[in-house]
């Protein structure tokens, strides 16, 4: 059993948790994820990958980040995800690397679903925007322009889910999963 690898995963978990908590707090309070935080996290993660894995680690993280970031790129183009969410998921993909990027996407998706359902149940988010996006994705007969005209303004808090919380939750779950997988 390689204890140095186990310790490095544990150190990573301890180092990344405060960063993710700050991003969650900022996303919940302002519904924004600033570039200095998301891209700073990405840069630090790439730097850490160079120090721990050399250029192979760098490229592993970069490819994982690009894969995870691309996951939200199409919703971003459809204006259903923010640019900060794309950059935060890119940084999270760098942290987990290519090997765990699909696990990351699964855990982030499940966390986002749970977050959305909980927010709907407590009345913290309105359902009109979510229904509109679901119909855009799944109903080819739906009139997108007419549906978008009836939506509340984007600045309305009830129309926006702080997806950074789901990204942080999914990332921490992925790191714990990878740590437990390496231990056993």
pTM: 0.86
Cα dihedral sign, 94-95-100-104: negative
What pLDDT score does 5 carry? 57
Going by C-alpha positions, the residue among 119, 109, 125, 123 that lies closest to residue 170 is 109
What pLDDT score does 155 carry? 65
144 domain residue, yes or no: no
58 domain residue, yes or no: yes
Q: Give the model confidence (pLDDT) of 136-148 as tens digits.
A: 778 888 888 888 8
What pLDDT score does 184 carry? 62
150 domain residue, yes or no: no
Question: Per-residue pLDDT for 2 more than 70?
Answer: no
Average pLDDT for 9-13: 83
Question: Which one is predicted more confidently, 32 or 127?
Answer: 32
Going by C-alpha positions, the residue among 23, 27, 37 that lies closest to residue 157 is 27
What pLDDT score does 69 carry? 96
What pLDDT score does 173 carry? 97
67 domain residue, yes or no: yes
Q: Give the model confidence (pLDDT) of 158-184 as tens digits.
A: 667 899 999 999 999 999 999 888 766
What pLDDT score does 79 carry? 77
What pLDDT score does 59 carry? 97
164 domain residue, yes or no: yes
154 domain residue, yes or no: no
Tally of domains in the chain:
1
Name which of 18-22, 124-128, 139-143 the model is least confident about.
Answer: 124-128
172 domain residue, yes or no: yes
Going by C-alpha positions, the residue among 68, 61, 66 that lies closest to residue 105 is 68
> Do the beta carbons of residue 97 and residue 181 sit within 8 Å?
no
Instruction: Say how far residue 184 (Cα) sits from the centre of its chain.
Output: 27
Give kind and range of the element (H or E) at residue 72. none
Tell me the two tokens of residue 67: 């894969």
Residues of the domain holding 114: 3-125+160-183
Going by C-alpha positions, the residue among 146, 159, 171 that lies closest to residue 42 is 171
145 domain residue, yes or no: no
Q: Give the model confidence (pLDDT) of 40-61 as tens digits.
A: 999 999 999 999 889 999 999 9
């Amino acid at each position: 059993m390689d204890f140095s690898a186990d310790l490095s995963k544990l150190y990573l978990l301890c180092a990344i948790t405060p960063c993710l908590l700050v991003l969650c707090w900022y996303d919940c309070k302002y519904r924004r994820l600033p570039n200095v935080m998301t891209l700073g996290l990405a840069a630090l993660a790439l730097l850490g990958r160079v120090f721990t894995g050399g250029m192979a680690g760098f490229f592993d993280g970069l490819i994982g980040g690009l894969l995870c970031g691309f996951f939200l790129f199409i919703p971003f183009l459809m204006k259903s995800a923010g640019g900060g969410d794309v950059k935060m998921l890119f940084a999270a993909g760098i942290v987990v690397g290519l090997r765990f990027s699909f696990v990351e996407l699964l855990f982030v998706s499940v966390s986002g679903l749970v977050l959305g359902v909980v927010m709907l149940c407590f009345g913290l988010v309105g359902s009109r925007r979510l229904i509109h996006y679901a119909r855009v994705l799944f109903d080819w007969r739906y009139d997108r322009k007419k549906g978008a005209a009836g939506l509340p303004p984007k600045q309305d808090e009830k129309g926006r889910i702080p997806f950074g919380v789901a990204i942080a939750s999914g990332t921490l779950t992925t790191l714990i999963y990878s740590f437990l997988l390496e231990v056993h």
